[in-house]
Amino acid sequence: MSTHRELAQKYLVPHFTPKAAWQNDALPIIERAEGCYLYDTDGVEYLDGLAGLFCVNIGHGRPDLSNAAAKQMNKLAYSTNWGFAHPPAIEAAEMIAGFAPGDLSETFFVSSGSEAVESAIKFARNYHLARGDEGRYKVISRNWAYHGTTLGALSVTGIPKFRDPYLPMLWDGTRHVSNTRECTSPVGTPAAELSCVQAIEEMILAEGPETISMVIGEPVQNGGGALVPPNGYWQELRRICDRYGVLLVADEVICSFGRFGHWFASERLDVVPDMITFAKGVTSAYQPLGGVVIRGQLVEELFDSPMGSYVHGSTFGGHPVATAVAVANMTAMRDEGVLQHVLDNEGYFTEQLQAMGDAHRSVREVRGTGYFYAVDLCSDSANDLDLSPTQETGLRGGALGGFVREERMTVRPDDRGYTGLTISPPLVADRAIIDDLVARIDRVADRVDAWLGDND
């Protein structure tokens, strides 16, 4: 029994973890990592099939990033972006402006994805006020979307189990509409006529366009399992938002910094939103950093208005060490061709996962693209049978998690809008690592097939 484990169980309050999983002799204590592999205090190796939490994009153990942090700490450990500026934040913002689509050119830094979403919500409100559009404050978001846990961001999140305990504290300005998987239109329906597109326009009209501040969505939604949008979906969102004076926000906390082979997924989807929120991969998680990159013209309008400023800020937003690490991370990703590596290997990754899925009764579908996938489980794929309620409860309640743990990997057993596995390895994973990952997932699916046989 590791001393660390006992101490963790005594002193650490875990995030989103039930007592049974925490107060457990098998609780892994991860102490080091290299590339795509993690090692615990007992020397056991795990394949990091989730890049930490969708964030260690460049892989673990990079001395160039830790050196950038140490150098910055020795030079200027702290200064603010509040009435002052410092070189690392300026350099990071300039690089992001160069990578962002269209005229998104000005970045407001924070320290996490939730704060990035909060910042977009507040900027949109500030912007509308600056234009004298005082009635606009509502946000349209999509079912099962995850946009963070702080109260503003949680209001926008559409995952019931995260929202329900806090419902009395969530503001009443969010309206949730169907996500792309909930589209009821037949295949081949033009984008403008898709039910999931029309739901957004109908909600704007039902609420009154003069009350709507922004629409937010992930380019590829995580909640529900790697929901790749139909062609033309984001162009329709852009058209609708322009029509009603609503700001369009792409939440790219997962989708940016290479997850889909581009700096920003909006570029891949050929859309220019008004704001893009990011975090996680901007530093490959070597430091906590998030932000929102905004169309320059919107910032200018706010500055030039009687309001004169964006009324928002925080102590650590744009921290010198975090932004210095962001610069080092973006530089390394650019110079080492990490985005091209994703584009070169995503086809192989998809094929291997699809072939694995086709061989199992328990795999209904493999969804996703880039380095981001979901393996959606069912009771019998040949006959398109859903999991029975008992099977769903059993898999979600620990069986699936146990199979994954025994394979020594960190893909996520998921219950948010589907039952299955969410996969998102570091972007430096090569074909040998993809093979290793798919082989482990294949063995998990074998175990699920057998488990379903025993739990019909």
Ligand X SMILES: Cc1ncc(COP(=O)(O)O)c(C=O)c1O
Stretch touching ligand X by CB under 6 A, among 59-67, 203-211, 247-255, 395-403: 247-255
Q: Which of residues 87-126 bind ligand X (CB under 6 A)?
A: 112-114, 117
Which CB, 117 or 421, lies closer to ligand X?
117
For the bound state, the minimum distance from the C-beta of residue 285 to ligand X, rounded and expressed in Å, comes to 10
Which CB, 229 or 357, lies closer to ligand X?
229
What is the pattern of x (binds ligand X, CB under 6 A) and - over residues 129-168?
-----------------xxx--------------------
Q: Is the Cβ–Cβ distance between 356 and 380 less than 8 Å?
A: no
Total residues in contact with ligand X, by rule CB under 6 A: 13
Q: How far is CA 39 from the centre of its chain?
A: 25
Is residue 254 at the binding interface for ligand X, with CB under 6 A as the rule?
yes
Residue spans of beta strands (DSSP E) within 18-69: 30-34, 37-40, 45-47
Indicate if the alpha-carbon torsion angle 303, 306, 312, 314 is positive or negative: positive
Is residue 434 at the binding interface for ligand X, with CB under 6 A as the rule?
no
Is residue 412 at the binding interface for ligand X, with CB under 6 A as the rule?
no
Question: Rounded to whole angstroms, how far apart are CA atoms 146 and 142?
Answer: 9
Stretch touching ligand X by CB under 6 A, among 120-128, 250-258, 261-269, 437-445: 250-258
* Strand 212-217 to 247-251 pairing: parallel
Q: Is the Cβ–Cβ distance between 318 and 94 less than 8 Å?
A: no
Q: Is the Cβ–Cβ distance between 299 and 311 less than 8 Å?
A: no
Which CB, 130 or 156, lies closer to ligand X?
156
* Strand 138-142 to 174-177 pairing: parallel
Is residue 222 at the binding interface for ligand X, with CB under 6 A as the rule?
yes
Spatial CA neighbour of 423 closest among 341, 337, 363: 363
Q: How far is CA 246 from the centre of its chain?
A: 23
Which CB, 341 or 412, lies closer to ligand X?
412
Which CB, 199 or 255, lies closer to ligand X?
255
Which CB, 276 or 363, lies closer to ligand X?
276
Q: Which helix (H) or strand (E) holds 324?
A: helix 320-335
What residues make contact with ligand X under the rule CB under 6 A?
112-114, 117, 146-148, 218, 222, 251, 253-254, 279
